[in-house]
Amino acid sequence: MQSGVYYSMVGQELSGISSYSGLNKVENTKGYNIEVYTASGTVYTSNPDIFLLDNFQGERVQPSNIVDPEKAGLEFIDNSLRQNFSYLELPLVVRYKIIDKTLDLNLIGGVSSGMLVDNSVSSGPVGRKYEIGGTEGLNNITFSSSLGMGLEYNFSEKLSLNFEPTVKYYISPFGEIPGMRIHPYSLGIFSGFSYKF
């Protein structure tokens, strides 16, 4: 069995939503908060200088008809938004050794609880990031399960090389959106050296 604390980041890119800066210069837009409806929750803008526009003419962005970006002279930033969620996770993992030789084979499984510590939304090309706001409707505590296989090559009794492909599935939904329960999953490959004292 093993446990510990680790920091994990999960992200999602929302394509088809253009972002513009310069909204503060437009007189009739003072005080607008723009919302973007996503599968993970509702993005609320906290930057009053940013204007968002749905390129697919849908209803994801509200209000959508505040201003015409070209006529108002707004500066184009990017064509997508990035939602970033960071968690402190406390895993409980069990390893069962199936083959015990120079090359060991382990079956790995466990559960983890995560506490949301950062929630941000940004836009912009590489090297030029604009903070947009955050996502409301996220669960502050999540629970996930993991399952994987571990290969371990023993150089000696104390030193070994590990290679572990793992699937992680969120048991609890990411957000509390009525009628929508999103359970993301991820595939990961962990590797490294371990030294036994």
In the prediction, which pLDDT does 72 show? 86
In the prediction, which pLDDT does 106 show? 92
How many other CB atoms are there within 10 angstroms of residue 37's CB atom? 15
In the prediction, which pLDDT does 49 show? 87
Span 28-37, average pLDDT: 77
Return d(Cα 185, Cα 169) in angstroms, integer. Answer: 4
Confidence of residue 30 (pLDDT cuts 50, 70, 90): low
Res. 38: pLDDT tops 80: yes
Please give the mean pLDDT across all residues of the chain.
88
| Single pTM value for the model | 0.76
SS3 label, residue 69? helix
Return d(Cα 23, Cα 32) in angstroms, integer. Answer: 10
- With a CB cutoff of 8 Å and minimum separation 6, the contacts of 7 are 86, 87, 88, 89, 117
In the prediction, which pLDDT does 179 show? 61
Domain layout of the chain by residue ranges: 2-9+85-129+137-195, 11-83
Residue 102's region, left for phi above 0, alpha for psi from -120 to 50, else beta, is alpha
Q: How far is CA 28 from CA 4, 117, 126, in A?
A: 52, 36, 32
Return d(Cα 2, Cα 194) in angstroms, integer. Answer: 13
Residue 24 sits at φ, ψ, to 5 deg, of -60, -25
